[in-house]
Amino acid sequence: MIPVCEPLLDGNEEQYVLDCLRSNWISSSGRYIPAFEERFSSYCGTRHGVACSSGTAALHLALASLGIGPGDEVVVPSFTLIVAANTVLLTGATPVLVDVDPATWGLDPARVAVALTPRTKAIMAVHMYGHPCDMDPILDLARRHGCAVIEDGAEAHGAEYKGRKVGSLGDIGCFSFYGNKIVTTGEGGMVVTDREDLAQRARLLRNQAFGEPRFVHQEIGFNYRLTNVQAAIGLAQCEKIKEKVERKREIAGHYRRLLQNSPHLTLPPEAPWAKNVYWMYGVLLNDSFGRRRDDAMRMLYERGVETRAFFHPLHRQPALHERLAPADTNRFPVSENLGVRGLYLPSGLTLTTAQIDEVADKLLACRA
């Protein structure tokens, strides 16, 4: 079976983890945590990094650090993982869903403009599958409206918008280091920002809001700490991040050469102003493909190729039905189309050229 994604640990991971074990620094203190924070935030082009236990924790920390809470609204794309809405709900705020841009699969700025209200306190720009959102109009809307911009770069380590790394464009950026990410710590995340006030607040809230004296708490915090062992893996991963990003783009380039002549597929976008890191190589099955997405996925699995469906749009999530305003599906035509037609192919850094050839051949052979 060709896996959809698996981590590549080909650097100093073992050496650094053994150092943690031999020195007994295995919990949430130790030299690898600040080293990892500095290395990754510097790569993103930001002054501060706050490592935490997951990408979900990073988004929640970002929202909480911005002071978002009950009565506030946060604009969120309907086409994304449910985590975006969940973390808004955790603060007591309301997620306001908007459709995405068919050219980028990220937030559609024109639809964001319509969704803004006096209660809007933040816009969450999710850089989908490694492609940046069109950030300039989103940032302009935020400035004019007086709200913050949170970048969800969980799938977009190293992606660029007009030459700048994602995570450095808005008020605060969030990343995941789950096992299938370009940089992984197994589980983990990070908040990055240029704003010292937000970094300080994220550090406070990450660690139960311990103050002075230590066990007297002025507010409610969380246990979102990352361990030194995880940070050791992350630091080793960051030492080879440029090679990892370029390998992702090489994989995407090879898929593109094999699939671009098929009129039955829509391949992932790359806008002229963007550097897509192709976290996952996602394709849409056009009507002329002759099979539904789920049928094609079953056929590929039977032939030894693992795939994943695109995310289920948030306006279709049963868990959110009672927490959102009633949704008219006609308001989300792009999210609907992506959610029904999209799947991503094996895209891990361990993938070989021969495996890419095999996947492409088997996908094309699934056409009815």
Q: Are strands 148-152 and 120-126 parallel, antiparallel or unpaired?
A: parallel
pLDDT confidence of residue 144: 98
pLDDT confidence of residue 212: 87
pLDDT confidence of residue 327: 59
Q: Is 63 helix (H, G, I), strand (E, B) or coil?
A: helix
In the β-sheet with 73-77, what is the strand arrangement from edge to edge? 48-52, 189-193, 172-176, 148-152, 120-126, 73-77, 94-98
The domains of the chain, with CATH numbers, are 13-100+107-238 (3.40.640.10), 241-365 (3.90.1150.10)
- H helices of 192-227, in order, are 196-206
Q: What is the pLDDT along the chain (368 residues), one digit of tens a residue?
A: 999 999 999 999 999 999 999 999 999 999 999 999 999 999 999 999 999 999 999 999 999 999 999 999 999 999 999 999 999 999 999 999 999 999 999 999 999 999 999 999 999 999 999 999 999 999 999 999 999 999 999 999 999 999 999 999 999 999 999 999 999 999 999 999 999 999 999 999 999 999 888 999 999 999 999 999 999 999 999 999 999 999 999 999 999 999 999 999 999 999 999 999 999 999 999 999 999 999 999 999 999 999 999 999 999 999 998 888 665 666 899 999 999 999 999 999 999 999 999 999 999 999 99
pLDDT confidence of residue 243: 98
Within 10 Å of residue 155's Cβ, how many Cβ atoms? 26
pLDDT confidence of residue 36: 98
pLDDT confidence of residue 326: 61
pLDDT confidence of residue 325: 64
pLDDT confidence of residue 329: 61
Q: In whole angstroms, what is the distance from residue 130 CA to residue 199 CA?
A: 25
